[in-house]
Amino acid sequence: MVEREWVLLNPGPANTSPRVRQALVTPDLCHREPEFFEVMRECRARLVRAAGGGPDLDAVLFTGSGTAAVEATLASAVPDGRAVLIVNNGVYGDRMLRIAKAHRIPAEVLAYDVTTPVAPADVAAALRAHSEISHVAVVHHETTTGLLNPVEAVADVAATAGRRVIVDAMSSLFGEPLDVTREGLDFVTASANKCLQGIPGVSFVLARRAALEALRGRAPRSVYLDLFNHWATQEQDNTPFTPAVQVLHAMREALVELEEEGVAARIARYGENCRVLRHGMQALGFEILVPAGARSQILTTFRLRSGVGYDALHDAMKRRGYIIYAGQGEIRTYAFRVSNMGTLTPKDMEAVVAAFAECVEELTRPS
Ligand SMILES: Cc1ncc(COP(=O)(O)O)c(C=O)c1O
């Protein structure tokens, strides 16, 4: 199997190892046989271990994209008669708001522009003003721009105010430091196909066991996206619905690989990937949209240079084997995104910068 045909610079699905892709090829297997339950059990246990959790933490698996885990958590965690405070500084904060509205969950919003992280003091003030809020929901890494929200400080503020926090860490878990055991944090959602370096189709919730236990007996807002039902069934070595059997085999392999590399080493590799990328791109005249101090080390939004349009740049990079990613919404007109997650190394990122240099030369050459 070739190492890779495309170098994926989009923020997931990311490049995976041949070993993870090979794990997709399993004998046909019924999802209610002990051989498969062993795979699920191992995935859940390995997720908790990789996240640095102990017996107080558990993992619940969902077959579905990342949004499945986010929607299941929001729809299940906020009790009837209470409200959620949503931090909105990008597409994924906005998506949480849309989810709350779809489930008729009352929501207060703390809105910022797409380059400004949440201020924990604003969360504290909102919690003081609204006693009906039971949970704060915040995206750790806003993949819209590469912005990091200070979720641990938000958790501290919420814990002091006696409230609980839901974190969407979809594009940052295992790629950016995050203490999922922090007091105040109840639910952290992520998916298999980003910094975990697995295959798309499975998402998961890392949850405090006490917070899962507290959902027992509540009327669910959704049949499929009922977090308690998935957890309680998985606890009995079963599954309420048909899971993505092969994708979970690949996820187990990705978790073995993560343990071999080590979470800290992976975070360090991504940090070095990012350093090489930003240094090279700034030398080519590309400015970074998000201010220093608020940037993740996983994704960078670069402003387009004059004379270099996004579509032409995308196509020129693709001809060289690199897939870059457009800005979301209005941002597409003036900036684009480059991620450095997945199996990529600093050496790969040097080649990425060299390819950008060639493309800029090609696109700005007088005809
Ligand atoms: C921060 C964040 N939240 C949620 C998602 C979930 O998206 P999807 O349902 O497409 O996996 C993503 C995907 O990129 C994301 O970056």
pLDDT, tens digit only, all 367 positions of the chain? 677 799 999 999 999 999 999 999 999 999 999 999 999 999 999 999 999 999 999 999 999 999 999 999 999 999 999 999 999 999 999 999 999 999 999 999 999 999 999 999 999 999 999 999 999 999 999 999 999 999 999 999 999 999 999 999 999 999 999 999 999 999 999 999 999 999 999 999 999 999 999 999 999 999 999 999 999 999 999 999 999 999 999 999 999 999 999 999 999 999 999 999 999 999 999 999 999 999 999 999 999 998 899 999 999 999 999 999 999 999 999 999 999 999 999 999 999 999 999 999 999 998 7
- Looking only at the bridges linking them, the beta strands covering 83-88 and 133-139 are parallel
> Quick check: CB of 168 below 6 Å from ligand 1?
yes
- Asked whether 201 lines ligand 1 (CB < 6 A), one says no
- Give the closest residue (by CA) to ligand 1 atom 6: 66
For residue 54, what pLDDT is reported?
95
Give the residue whose CA is nearest to atom 8 of ligand 1.
66
Residues contacting 251, CB < 8 A, separation 6+: 43, 192, 196, 198, 199, 202
CA of 360 to the centre of ligand 1 (A): 30
Residue 339, ligand 1, Cβ within 6 A: no
CA distances from residue 313 to 259, 308, 320, 321 in whole angstroms, order as listed: 37, 7, 11, 12
| Number of neighbouring beta carbons within 10 Å of residue 101 | 11
User: What is the dihedral sign for C-alpha 67, 73, 75, 81?
Assistant: negative
Q: Is the model's pTM score more than 0.95?
A: yes
Does the C-beta of 65 come closer than 6 Å to ligand 1?
yes
The reply to whether ligand 1 has any atom less than 6 angstroms from the CB of 144 is: no
Burial class of residue 104 in the structure, from the number of CB atoms within 10 Å of its CB (0-12 exposed, 13-18 middle, 19+ buried): exposed
State both tokens at 25: 């090829």
Our CA angle for 313, 201, 199, nearest 5°, is 65
- Measured between alpha carbons, how far is 173 from 185 in angstroms, rounded to an integer? 14
The predicted pLDDT at position 293 comes to 96
Q: Is 91 in the pocket of ligand 1 (CB under 6 A)?
A: no
Q: Which of 9, 300, 22, 342 is nearest to 194 (CA)?
A: 342
Residue-level pLDDT at 367: 77
Tell me how far apart the alpha carbons of residues 209 and 257 are, in angstroms, rounded to a whole number. 26
The residues, any chain, with a CB within 8 Å of residue 228's CB and separated by 6 or more, are 76, 212, 215, 216, 218, 220
Ligand 1: nearest atom to the Cα of 142: 1
Could you tell me if the CB of 325 is within 6 A of ligand 1?
A: no
C-alpha 25 – ligand 1 centre gap (Å): 26
Kindly state the tokens that stand for 249: 């085999």
Return d(Cα 194, Cα 17) in angstroms, integer: 13
Q: Which two tokens stand for residue 104?
A: 């008729």
Binding site membership of 92 for ligand 1 (Cβ less than 6 Å) = yes
So what's the pLDDT on residue 306?
87
What does the DSSP 8-state code read for residue 313? H
292 φ, ψ (degrees, to nearest 5): -55, 140
Per-residue tokens: 72: 């299941």
Per-residue tokens: 322: 């690199």
Is any atom of ligand 1 closer than 6 Å to the C-beta of 270? Answer: no
- Ligand 1 contact via 67 beta carbon (within 6 Å): yes
Closest CA to 86 of 130, 48, 30, 46: 130
For tokens 């909102």, name the residue: 126
* C-alpha 66 – ligand 1 centre gap (Å): 5
| Cα angle, residue 126 at apex, residues 122 and 131 outer, rounded to 5° | 155
